[in-house]
Structure 1
Amino acid sequence: MASLFSKTITLRNDLKITDKEFFQLRDFIYEQSGIYINDNRKYLLENRLINRLKELNLKSFGEYYYFLKYDPGRKQELNRLFEVITTNETSFYRNPPQLKVFQDIILKEVLDKQRAKGQKKLHIWSAGCSTGEEPYTISMILHEVLKLEINSWQIKITANDLSEGVLRSARRGVYSQYSLRTTPKEIIAKYFIDEGNGKYRVKPEVKKLVSFGQLNLSDRFQVKRVERSHIIFCRNVIIYFDDEMKKNVIASFYDNLLPGGYLFIGHSESLHNISRAFKPIHYPGAIVYKKEG
């Protein structure tokens, strides 16, 4: 879930959302997902949802609210709602300075500790994985670091997102050149199959490490079921939560991480005023948060 409301849809008729309808839908979305929509984004919510009303043949945003609350098809529609209120602006190898710190320093340290324990097991959680570019990038980096040794490791990358739509795309593992715009050419040649027509398929050995599933970060019970992790990536997600939700999610990450584990958040995000539980470690171009112990 890399960006919210980054594009607008042209309104095709004069249907407008009332203040009451906006607050009803805004509160419902918050309750369901933890995503908080500010008052000044009312017209963007209107623009995003207008096509859902048309497809369902509803006459008002109030009718759409009641559909989401009470209709037998509400669960399926909730997935559609999540898809239209979140857009997924991401790419492979996004934010290279942060990934360099992950590859050269953090990952090396975690792997060395596991080897020293005689435990060749590693679990990385990509929370808010969008269309899969982040967890597949992590898999490629693991292949680069471990090389042939990777076959002797038990590695799992758990990749979760709120939207079932983006997860379907992630599982397919087929991407356009635009998704590869920040990817080194040698990585493209090594880990993708060029299918022609500007489409590239992630190779099976990369996909093998990644397990995709739907998860709502605002649901503490769902989050508690995630296997404990050595490293968590949750980049460009918590900026869409209010302070209370941010604190709950970060506390869940702290509980999930194994002692000595690391949390990566977006380069424009910060845990300042959210959590003092993590130790921030500063590297060139990146801050990484460590669970000490």
Structure 2
Amino acid sequence: MAVALNPHDSALALAGMDEAVFARWVALLERRTGVVVAPQRKPFLVSAVRARMREVGYGNFMQYFEHISAPGAGAVEWATLVDRLTVHETRFFRHMPSFDLIRERWLPERLGNGIGALHAWSVGCASGEEAWSLAMVLHHGLLGHGGKVHFGVTASDVSSAAVATARAAIYPRGRIEEVPALYRAKYVEMRGEEAFTPIASLRKRVAFARVNLLQAAAAPLQRLNLIFCQNVLMYFARERRRELLDGLAGLLEPQGLLLIGPGEVTSWSHPALTRVAWQGTLAYQRRD
């Protein structure tokens, strides 16, 4: 999940939201999504909210705030607003060192220990590229061992629109170069002349769902072998990041791997996890 506030028309947007109202919006966003909006990002928040207010006919920030805070129709409108407040920017194989760690070290070690199935979670999958990249790496690695190990990838995002795009899995042709040649030849196919998609056998391995990371503990996730959580934690308060990581650590099976974006957290440790030494990555493995 890449979350950012839309900066369009920020100067004009400043009028109309005083500091008290801004504070209430900030608190609502943090309480419901965990995302922290710094004071210097007020123009971005105001611009994005105002754009949606124009569409639904609201001219007052507090009236709109009260509407989305209410149950029923307010919950539906809140889901739409969250989609507008988030920017889903990602790409295939975005952080190659992390995929190299999975492919070259972690997966061969797990297969050497005789594992029967693998379940991975792509946290904050945005438009799906990360999840499909994971599926390609796992599928290719398992083929080298006879293809007898079942695997699946669960991919989630807080945005319903992002999940719908990820599930559709239709990407413009110009982005096919993001997929390394080895995987491109085996796992993608053209849709007409201007788009491509993962092959059908890979699509069967990936399931998408709308999940708020703050409620991840309540999500119907089984014990996991691999958690890929990159470019997500940076949008949460530092104290909340540690809480979320503790929760993710608790979902890992023995020898399970947790991959975080480098620089997203500092000085975090967990009694059940060991830091994995692999250049350019921030990864932890659960002990037996």
Q: TM-score, normalised by structure 1?
A: 0.90
What is residue 210 of structure 2 aligned with on the other side?
A: 214
1:71, distance to aligned residue in structure 2 (A): 5.9
Aligned to 2:149: 153
Structure 1 window deviating more from structure 2 (229-238 vs 138-147): it is: 138-147
What is the CA deviation profile of residues 112-135 of structure 1, one whole-angstrom value per residue up to 9, with x for unaligned ones?
Answer: 22x2xxx41111111111111111
Task: Map residues 1-293 of structure 1 onto 2, 5 A cutoff.
Answer: 1-5=1-5, 7-10=6-9, 15-70=15-70, 72-113=72-113, 115=114, 119-147=115-143, 151-177=147-173, 179-219=175-215, 221-223=217-219, 225-270=220-265, 272-277=266-271, 278-293=273-288
Q: Which amino acid aligns with 1:102?
A: I
Q: Which runs of 5+ in 1 are unaligned?
A: none
Q: Deviations over 1:201-250 (max 9, x none)?
A: 11111111111111111125424x32110111000101111123212211
1:148 Cα offset (Å): 7.1
Deviations 1:93-150 (A, max 9, x none): 111122111111011112222x2xxx41111111111111111111111222122756
Q: Distance in 2 between matches of 1:187 and 1:89?
A: 21
Q: Distance in 2 between matches of 1:162 and 1:233?
A: 15
Question: How far apart in 1 are the matches of 2:196 and 2:165?
Answer: 13
CA 1:220/1:146 → structure 2, altered by over 3 Å: closer, same or farther?
closer
Contact 1:260 1:291 in 2 (8 A): yes
Asked if structure 2 preserves the Cα contact closer than 8 Å seen for 1:124 and 1:230, the reply is: yes
Contact 1:267 1:286 in 2 (8 A): yes
SS in 2 for 1:99: helix
Query: RMSD between aligned alpha carbons?
Result: 2.1
Gaps of 5+ in 2: none
* Deviation, structure 1 residue 255: 0.7
1:131 match: secondary structure:
coil
Bigger shift: 235-244 or 152-161? 152-161
Q: Is the 8 A contact 2:173 2:193 kept in 1?
A: no
Secondary structure in structure 1 of the residue aligned to 2:178: coil
Shift of 1:68: 0.7
Distance verdict in 2 for CA 1:197–1:48, change over 3 Å: farther
SS of the residue corresponding to residue 155 of structure 1 reads strand
Give the Cα–Cα distance (whole angstroms) in 2 for the partners of residues 19 and 150 of structure 1: 61
Matched AA of 2:47: N
CA distance in structure 1 between the partners assigned to 2:214 and 2:174 by the alignment:
31
**How far did residue 83 of structure 1 move?**
1.1
**Amino acid in the other structure paired with 1:145:** G
Query: Percent same amino acid among aligned pairs?
Result: 25
Per the TM alignment, residue 268 of structure 1 is displaced from its structure 2 partner at its CA by 3.2
* Residue pair 1:250, 1:275 contacting (<8 A) in 2 also: no
Matches of 1:206 and 1:150, distance apart in 2: 16
- Which whole-Å deviations, capped at 9, do the CAs of 1:159-189 have from their partners, x for residues lacking one? 1111111000011010124544432234223
Deviation (angstroms), 1:29? 0.9
Distance in 2 between the 1:54 and 1:2 partners? 25
**C-alpha separation between the residues in 2 aligned to 1:241 and 1:61?**
24
AA in 2 matched with 1:235: Q
Bigger CA drift: 87-96 or 214-223? 214-223
Does the 8 A contact of 1:171 with 1:212 survive in 2? yes
Rounded Cα–Cα distance in structure 2 between residues aligned with 1:249 and 1:181: 34
